[in-house]
Structure 1
């Protein structure tokens, strides 16, 4: 950030670090909660480097949830308003905002659930709004997903240039091997010389430590690991299981009356692509564990097959179906792609924009683009750089192949973070959605956005990779935008 800022004054100027090519002013804003839907919201930098007291952070066990202006019963389509009051481990009211709070409804008996949205009043109080979309007896629930203090620690880790995950290159000449650390910035700890491998990485920034004997040209494979976190013990506790994804113990049960669940008559294959980018929560809901959009009706029969079982991960692969004359290709995106436990050949990580550029003129392919988890180990500037390059290729594809259909899959929620430390989805998911919607803004009327955030939050998805029920409904949603029946 430049020294001539006049629009906002911060309590302390932060010294620029030498990895500023990767950690930019954009990251400084986004990682501090400053930027949200075009507005500056809250600045975690005012917290400074205060010591962390685990008992002083938001504690869902003491926090409360209550109905605002309760009714004897609600009707399908009504909005339930709730208030969440956060207390800390001393059972005292918090008087500042910045904690990540979530509200949703469910009815287990009907296999039904839907997500609400939350307003932070910056004083420890949060308002939750959730629309009831089916008749029955619903539970209203709330959770403290992430503490303000944990967000501040994440900001500090990235700003200081620490690695949340590590990627290593294998250099090979016949039977001689060397392994060095890699990343999207040339400033790699322990290396005075680095290989600039940006050209081999399809023009996207990538650097690896220079091997002692072999040459940069002998880079053959890539692999990853999770290093010890660069934080103090009290900071580490903020990310332990009992301090993230805490359900507020109190919940509300209420009656919802109506003859039928909420429906929209317009078939999903007839709605404009722009609608998929502009929806507001809830974008849909589960009923009998079938996903129903609030913007349209999916007219496709529920016949999705488990294609994923046939596609070896993480190598690029194609499934052919001669009976119906189609093929499904899957390929991982470019680096960073952390495949812990094994080293993969470089050809396994061809850039997304290269795959798109290779599609021929006049094709009618269905293209699905997804960037998410592997980018959460790095400041958001990196994702924005990759998305911007991808957008260029999508624009070119639509010109040479107007009948091609392009879908951008957004982030999803998950509750278990054991194998993805620092990937607190409520935090990163919001950031990634903003970047995707901003960078694809010019062509939102030509391509579709697959918004599965509500689906994964409402269903309380646990795993980093969605379960098969969700995967099936994701495929069903995708095909519903394409197929009439």
Structure 2
């Protein structure tokens, strides 16, 4: 009996234990399903939380952190599905800005002005996620004074704004919603789906035979975009920069019969949702609410004053800091751009600065405008072919005999987008190839710019080109001790609908992060010219900056190249 009782007791315990395990497993399985279902069904609503939790473990002041550049990365942006409801995006009508340090709004020159933007959606509901790109500036219209402010995305629906009190008087802080997170997702997605926001056409011609095909800087992307079965590798002709075109079907035409290139219309079709279309068309919009602040004169009276100029000359400034600083590099006062980090170039010293020197300006139409300005400013007479029209795409050079100064503008290699058929050979020389050919003993100033003609493509195209350029720059600086290399960083703009959709300036911020990463190890030898601060300060709309901005941009260049005595 006792034995049977013990056996029944053991059996009951075993069954009870099994039941506990089954119940536990069932509970865990249900919880896992609930969790999985929750993530699946709410991925578009809670991805911001996932994005913020997927931290890259960098400090906000570390250039490796995307927030340093006021961007989100592609992999974070593409977590979201295309938006359906405009009213769920950040809205300028309901979002608010307020001071966080002083309710009075009164400051002294040189102090930081700190504010916070709280974002609300179209329903007036507070946002609790990040990813929207804001831009801000402080201005005093009476003084013709303005400066960019620094934005920090807290990934919780708020963004910190820091402006510097650089002049006395009453100023206004204006915040602009440049890109909603939903719009950023869209412009990233388009470049991964269609691989090109612009068609480049190449005309092959020999005798009476001609044929047009599509080109792309990435062979894999070209094949996916067009379904070509055979392509022409134009990289050799493009002096080392990858460029591929569909091979002509006509047996009379060969790859080397390339003649003309153009940005073809119609454009590739962009698959935006109705919500995304509305958000992108809106473009940059200022928040309905501005802040007014008051800055005391240094002497305590009512006269206007401005912060003291830096005492260190720019050639003696630690140029590594240009890559590491989030603060404004300058500000406008009385319509003149003033450098914030160091004492800049004086126009009346240009003869001493540029004597027996050679200036190479590589790039696109923006640096072509530089060349026009340089000709007039430094009395440099054209020595190459006279321009037949304003949008000139051929090498141009000038010479100032009095000081033995030469300057030249040289277009970067393909893709170099033109709206009409243009001689392809005009833009077949890469920046890296040109740098490799600069004589060793030359006292050269080299300015590199690559931007708008790359924006139609995935940002990996820009990175690949800059990596090639970096190799040439590294070799050049090791062999040319008397020369200096500068990179003109991207500027901001908002021009036509095509610019909003196909040539968005958001990627200028993405490119800035790429530049930092690619040129790591050369930050102490390569000068980064931050031209974005000038265009943000004046809220420039046209992608071709006006003359006062060009002047401000060019002033930075000799400031770092010319040693003042």
Structure-2-length-normalised TM-score: 0.75
CA contact (8 A) 2:534 2:552 kept: no
Do the aligned residues in 2 keep the contact of 1:149 with 1:238 (CA within 8 Å)?
A: no
Q: CA deviation at 1:61?
A: 2.5
In structure 2, relative to structure 1, the CA distance for the partners of 1:56 and 1:33 (3 Å cut) is farther
Report the structure, 1 or 2, having the larger helix content: 2
CA distance in 1, matches of 2:213, 2:177: 39
Following superposition, the deviation at residue 338 of structure 1 comes to 1.2
1:19 matched to which residue of 2? Answer: none
Find out whether 1:184 has 2:217 as its counterpart: yes
Q: Is the 8 Å Cα contact of residues 302 and 476 (structure 1) preserved in structure 2?
A: no
Q: How does 1:65-144 map to 2 (within 5 A)?
A: 65-70=97-102, 71-144=104-177
Matches within 5 A, 1:122-271: 122-186=155-219, 187=223, 188-213=225-250, 214-225=253-264, 227-235=267-275, 237-238=277-278, 240-242=280-282, 244-259=283-298, 260-262=305-307, 263-271=309-317
Q: Which residue of 1 aligns with 2:16?
A: none
Query: Which residue of structure 1 aligns with residue 44 of structure 2?
Result: none
* Distance (Å, rounded) in 1 between the aligned partners of 2:374 and 2:246: 39
Cα 1:239/1:171, change in 2 over 3 Å = farther
State the 4+ residue runs in structure 1 displaced beyond 3 angstroms: 32-37, 39-42, 238-241, 302-305, 307-312
Structure 1 pair 145–359 and aligned structure 2 pair: CA distance change class (3 A): same
Report SS of the residue matched to 1:62: strand
Residue among 412, 424, 434 paired with 1:355: 434
What SS does structure 1 have at the residue aligned with 2:173? strand
Structure 1 residues 319-369: Cα deviation after superposition (integer angstroms, max 9, x where no partner): 222233222110111122212223233243310011111111211011100
Q: Which runs of 5+ in 2 are unaligned?
A: 1-35, 41-50, 299-304, 351-371, 377-381
Q: Give 1:475 shift.
A: 1.0
SS at match of 1:84: strand
Secondary structure of 2:341's partner? coil
Task: State the 1:300 CA deviation.
Answer: 0.9
Alignment check: 8 A CA contact 1:417 1:423 kept: no
Larger radius of gyration: 2
Say how many residue pairs are matched. Answer: 455
Match of 1:55 among 87, 92, 100: 87
Aligned mate of 1:422, from 482, 502, 519: 502
Matched, 1:465 2:544: yes
Q: Is 2:77 aligned against 1:44?
A: yes
Conserved 8 A contact 2:84-2:273: no
Structure 1: give runs of 5+ residues left out of the alignment: 1-8, 13-28
Distance in structure 1 (CA, Å) of the matches to 2:240 and 2:318? 34
Which residue matches 1:23?
A: none
> For residues 399 and 92 of structure 1, what CA distance do their matches in structure 2 show?
57
In structure 2, distance between residues paired with 1:258 and 1:199: 61
How much has 1:144 moved relative to structure 2?
Answer: 0.4
Structure 2 CA distance for partners of 1:417 and 1:303, relative to 1, 3 Å:
farther
Counterpart-to-counterpart distance in 1, 2:415 and 2:424: 14
- The two structures have a TM-score, normalised by structure 1, of 0.87
List per-residue Cα deviations over 1:160-214 (Å, max 9, x = no partner): 2342011111111023221100002221414222112222222322111111111
Shift of 1:78: 1.0
* 1:416-470 deviation per Cα after TM superposition (whole angstroms, max 9, x unaligned): 2434233332x21221111111111212212211111111111111111111101
- Report Cα offsets for 1:90-147 as digits up to 9, x if no partner: 2332232111111210111111111111122223221111111111211011010001
Secondary structure of 1:428's counterpart equals helix
Query: Could you say if the C-alpha distance between residues 86 and 261 of structure 1 is closer, same or farther in structure 2, counting changes exceeding 3 Å?
Result: same
Picking from 504, 524, 534, the partner of 1:445 is 524
Is the 8 Å Cα contact of residues 63 and 516 (structure 2) preserved in structure 1? no
Task: Provide the rounded CA distance (Å) in 1 between the counterparts of 2:85 and 2:441.
Answer: 61
2:447 to 368, 386, 398: 368
The Cα shift of 1:221 comes to 2.4
CA change 1:235–1:355 in 2 (3 A) is farther
- Give, in whole Å, the separation in 1 of the partners of 2:448 and 2:548: 21
Who is 1:26 aligned against?
A: none
Distance 1:225 1:367 in 2: 32
- What is the SS of the residue equivalent to 1:47? coil
Give the Cα separation in 2 of the matches to 1:400 and 1:121. Answer: 45
Deviation at 1:308, TM superposition (A): 6.7
Displacement, 1:231? 1.5
Compared CA separation, residues 129 and 229, structure 1 to 2 (3 A): farther
Distance in 1, matches of 2:321 and 2:258, equals 44
Larger mean Cα displacement after TM superposition, 56-65 or 134-143: 56-65
Task: Please give the secondary structure, in 2, of the residue aligned with 1:63.
Answer: strand
